[in-house]
Amino acid sequence: MKKHILILLSLLIGQSGFAQEKSKASLEDQVSKMAKQIEAMQHDFDQVTKGIDDLDWYNKLSDVAFVDKVIITGPPPAVIKNPTGQGAKNPVRFSAYVFIPSKIDINKKYPLLVLPHGGVHSNFTSTYAHIIRELIAQEYVVVAADYRGSTGYGAGFYRQIDYGGLEVEDVKSSRDYMIQNYDFLDKNRVGILGWSHGGMITLLNIFDHPEDYAVAYAGVPVSDLVARMGYKSQSYRDAYSADYHIGKSADENVAEYRKRSPAWNAEKLKTPLLIHTNTNDEDVNSLEVEHLIKSLKAEGKKFEYEIYKDIPGGHTFDRIDNYGAKEIRFKVYNFLAGYLKPNKKFKDVKELIQSSYFPKKG
C-alpha cells in the first residue's frame, strides 16, 4: 500500500512540475507575443504621427513653396534573410520630400540642395520648416529623403536600417532623381548639407561620390563610430548590433564600424567642405568631430571648420530660432552660395530674417 502511495505521489509531483513548466513556457510565449504587439502598435502610432506631420509641412510652407512627397528606390536591402525568396533582392522603396520655390521660372536654372535628416531611426520632420523657408527664400530647390530605417513607415522599413551604409546610397538616389526629373535644375550646382547623423551621411556622400556634389556642409557630424560606441550606453550600442543591422558589436567587428566612420575615410575628400561642432554638444561629443578635423589635416585636405565654444543649444546650436543660430546659419549659407550661386543670396542676417520669416505678400 505504501509503495502504491509513493508511486501516486511521484506521478502527481511529476504532473505538477510538467504543469508548472508548461505554465512558465506559456507565460514566456504570452510575454513575447505581447512585446511584438506593443512594437507593432508603436510603429502604427509612428505612422499616424508621420501623417500628421506631413500635413504640417503644407501648413508651414504652402505660401512660399510647392511641397511634394515622392516614392523612389535605392539599392536592395543590406541584409536579406531569404535571398531566394520572391522579390528578395528588389530595390528598397523609400519616400523623399521635394521643396520647390513657388515662383520658380522653369526657363531658368536653379541649384539643388540635398538634405538628409539626422537621428538613428528618425525621419524628416517639419521641425526643419524654418530652415527650408530660408533655403527657399534664396531660390534653392531642396530634396530630403526618408532613407531606409526611417521611422513612420512600418516595422519592415524600420528594420532596413543600414547606418553609414546603404542609407548613404538612398540619399544619393534622391539627388539623382531630382536631376533626372526636373529640367530646371543645374546638375553642376548641387550641394549637400546635414546635421548630426545627417552630417555623417553628407560626409560619406561626398567621399563616395565627389563628382556629384559641388559643396557640402556637415554640422555636428557623427564622425567616429568606434569612439561613439565607447561613450554611448549599452542600449544605444544594441541598436547597431541587432541581427537586422550590422549584426555585431564594435569589439566583434571593429573594421565594419571603422568603414562607416568619416574620420577613418578622410583621404577621400575632394569636395569643398565646411564643418561645425560645439564643445557642449550633448549628443555628438566634439571629440568625434575633432578627430575628423585632425584626420583631414593629416591628409593635407583643404576645408573649412569652426569649433564653437559652449554655444547655447548644445547639439542643435545652429538649428534653433534664436538670433545667434541665424547668424551661424548665415555663415553656412554664405559658404554654400560661393559654389552654388543661388539667384537670391542673402546679403546679411537681417535679409535672412525678413525673407524667411516675414515674406512679402503677393
What CATH number is associated with residue 273? Answer: 3.40.50.1820
Place of cell 530646371: 184
| Other residues' Cβ atoms within 10 Å of the Cβ of residue 341 | 14
pLDDT at 31: 76
**Interval 197-230: pLDDT, tens:** 999 999 999 999 999 999 999 999 999 999 999 9
Is 350 a member of any domain?
A: yes
Q: Which residues in the chain come in under a pLDDT of 50?
A: 1-2, 5-9, 11-13
Model pLDDT, residue 41: 84
Q: For residue 151, what pLDDT is reported? A: 96
pTM: 0.89
8: in domain: no
H or E, element range at 278: strand 273-278
What does the pLDDT read at residue 105? 94
In a domain, 153, yes or no: yes
Residue 49 confidence (pLDDT)? 93
In this predicted structure, what is the pLDDT of residue 355? 80
Give how far Cα 209 sits from Cα of 187, 224, 268, 285, Å: 14, 20, 10, 27
| pLDDT value for 29 | 78
- Structural domain of residue 294, as residue ranges? 51-224+261-357
C-alpha to C-alpha distance for 99 and 161, rounded to whole angstroms: 25
**Residue 331 forms part of a structural domain:** yes
What is the model's pLDDT at position 39? 80
Kindly state the helix (H) or strand (E) to which residue 35 belongs, with its residue range: helix 2-61
Residue 247 inside a domain? The answer is no
Q: How many CB atoms sit inside 10 A of residue 253's CB? A: 14
Q: Is residue 244 part of a domain?
A: no
Q: Report the chain's C-alpha Rg in angstroms.
A: 25
Does 31 reside within a domain? Answer: no
Confidence (pLDDT) at 6:
47
Task: Say how far apart CA 50 and CA 125 lie, in whole Å.
Answer: 8
Query: Does a structural domain hold residue 148?
Result: yes
Distance CA 240, CA 316 (A): 24
User: How many separate domains does the chain show?
Assistant: 1
Q: Grid coordinates representing 219? A: 554640422
Q: Alpha carbon 239 to chain centroid distance?
A: 15
